[in-house]
Amino acid sequence: MEQRARDGAPLDELVRIAVQFCRLAEERHPRRGPGRPPVIPDWVLAVMVMVAVMLRKKAKSAQYAWWNNRRGDFARWFVGQKFPGRSTFFDRYHRIHGLFQHALVLQGQEAVRKGWADAQCVAIDKSLIGGRGRPWSRRDRRQNKRRKRVDHDTTWGYSKHHGWVQGYSTEVIVTAGPDRINWPLIASADTASRSEQKSCLDKFVRLPKETRFVLADSGYDSNAVGEAVEWDAHGQRTGCRFLCPEVNRPNNGKSRQPHPRQSRERQHHRRLREARRTYFLSPHGRRLYARRKVSVEPFHSHWKHLFDLDHRVWHWGLANNRTMLVAAIFAYQTLLTYNHRHRLRSTCIKAILDAL
């Protein structure tokens, strides 16, 4: 028997917000490649996935079953769009994470433009989430033994907070303003072993123009990352400062090669690193960096708890979890937008989710 979304719930408006940004994201970043465009646009599938994630339907079959029982709501929310078949929903599920990333950037830009989010200072961080199934040992990996109940897309990663984890990772840039409201602006998901020094590089070019400070932990300590934040491709200053503690390396504090014998490029990188170190250790730099512990770290803890991701992911496979994890961050961002439109407190997010 067909059901209807609960009366009085804010789901109608949350869907309208998601449709606005997912549709705009597809218009600005259309699917490219051979063949005709799909009958059902990707933004429709993206909103369907986001709603199912908000309702914490953890299996793809449960997500599709919920929508199949509410075709009346689908026709009301997606006027003129065809309801997708089960195979279409499952096939497109693992291909729409890129659309969520673009929609997340657009919604973050609107929040900054309207003054809801303060993007002058932002923080970036990577967080690990365990995968499903049994551990895949190093010995089995070397011998390419694919045992049952093992997610073969998972990899091992290490962090000071989680220790060694076999699973996946998320990387998020959030606002770190003095108001303590942490808006996610850019996000991605990958395997646990993905190097944050590589995955972060394409995110900095999408930072809001208002951004002046980027905070990161020592895992991002690299000349390439620092210079990607502070300098553009044409060798001009971006106006941003990169604040990151240095990793204790074996040669720290030891005498280096004589300055005249170093290449000009090496001397250039050392001068830039010394300038970053000086600013980081200054009183203003230390005060700014203190915001990191009260912004991005609590954000990871909060959104994981909201979507039951404290211990492990929902799905098997990288493609499925990429979509689900970025969709959860986009859903969190959509809830913040709803809160600000109704002038609610940020603590109301869990209450809204529980009421859906």
Question: Does residue 5 carry a pLDDT above 70?
Answer: no
pLDDT at 254: 53
pLDDT at 162: 81
What amino acid is encoded at 9 in this protein? A
pLDDT at 187: 96
3-state secondary structure of 121: strand
Quote the CA–CA distance of 155 and 141 in Å, as a whole number. Answer: 10
Q: Are residues 212 and 179 in the same domain?
A: yes
The answer as to whether 6 is a domain residue is no
Question: Does residue 331 carry a pLDDT above 90?
Answer: yes
pLDDT at 37: 82
Question: Does residue 7 carry a pLDDT above 60?
Answer: no
- Residues 174/299, Cβ–Cβ less than 8 Å: yes
pLDDT band at 112 (very low <50, low <70, confident <90, very high): very high
The answer as to whether 5 is a domain residue is no
The answer as to whether 309 is a domain residue is no
Q: Are residues 162 and 206 in the same domain?
A: yes
For residue range 208-218, list pLDDT tens digits in order.
999 999 999 99
pLDDT band at 266 (very low <50, low <70, confident <90, very high): confident
If one compares 307 and 233, the residue with the highest pLDDT of the two is: 307
pLDDT at 202: 92
pLDDT at 347: 62
Q: Are residues 327 and 194 in the same domain?
A: no
Sign of torsion over alpha carbons 49, 53, 55, 60: positive
Quote the CA–CA distance of 336 and 303 in Å, as a whole number. Answer: 12
Mean pLDDT value across the chain: 89
Question: Does residue 255 carry a pLDDT above 60?
Answer: no
Q: Are residues 284 and 264 in the same domain?
A: yes
pLDDT at 41: 94
> In angstroms, how far is CA 203 from the centroid of its own chain?
10
Give the start-end residues of each E strand in the chain.
121-130, 155-159, 163-175, 184-191, 213-215, 241-243
If one compares 238 and 143, the residue with the highest pLDDT of the two is: 238
pLDDT at 326: 98
Question: Does residue 179 carry a pLDDT above 80?
Answer: no
The answer as to whether 107 is a domain residue is no
Q: Are residues 325 and 234 in the same domain?
A: no
Average pLDDT over residues 276-287: 94
pLDDT band at 262 (very low <50, low <70, confident <90, very high): low
Backbone angles phi, psi at 44, to 5 degrees: -65, -50
For residue range 23-45, list pLDDT tens digits in order.
999 999 988 878 788 899 999 99
Entry pTM = 0.91
If one compares 353 and 334, the residue with the highest pLDDT of the two is: 334
For residue range 43-64, list pLDDT tens digits in order.
999 999 999 999 999 999 999 9
Q: How many domains does the chain fold into?
A: 2
| Percent of the chain whose predicted confidence (pLDDT) is above 70 | 92
200-209: long-range contacts, CB 8 A cutoff, minimum separation 24: 200/124, 200/171, 200/225, 200/228, 201/225, 201/228, 203/124, 203/171, 203/173, 204/228, 204/229, 206/105, 207/119, 207/122, 207/173, 207/240, 208/108, 208/109, 208/112, 208/119
**Per-residue CA distances from 171 to 20, 140, 145, 263, 274 (Å):** 24, 28, 30, 35, 27
- Residues 42/78, Cβ–Cβ less than 8 Å: no
pLDDT band at 4 (very low <50, low <70, confident <90, very high): very low
Q: Are residues 164 and 133 in the same domain?
A: yes
The answer as to whether 340 is a domain residue is yes
Q: Are residues 179 and 273 in the same domain?
A: yes
Q: Are residues 299 and 154 in the same domain?
A: yes
| Percent of the chain whose predicted confidence (pLDDT) is above 90 | 67
Q: Are residues 144 and 220 in the same domain?
A: yes
Q: Are residues 55 and 125 in the same domain?
A: no
Question: Does residue 73 carry a pLDDT above 70?
Answer: yes
Q: Are residues 95 and 142 in the same domain?
A: no
Question: Does residue 300 carry a pLDDT above 80?
Answer: yes
Question: Does residue 200 carry a pLDDT above 80?
Answer: yes
pLDDT at 261: 58
| Containing structural domain, residue 204 | 118-250+259-304
The answer as to whether 280 is a domain residue is yes
The answer as to whether 1 is a domain residue is no
pLDDT band at 252 (very low <50, low <70, confident <90, very high): low
Final residue in a domain of this structure, among 304, 323, 341 = 304
Question: Does residue 291 carry a pLDDT above 70?
Answer: yes
Q: Are residues 187 and 144 in the same domain?
A: yes
pLDDT at 2: 46
> In angstroms, how far is CA 264 from the centroid of its own chain?
37
The answer as to whether 346 is a domain residue is yes
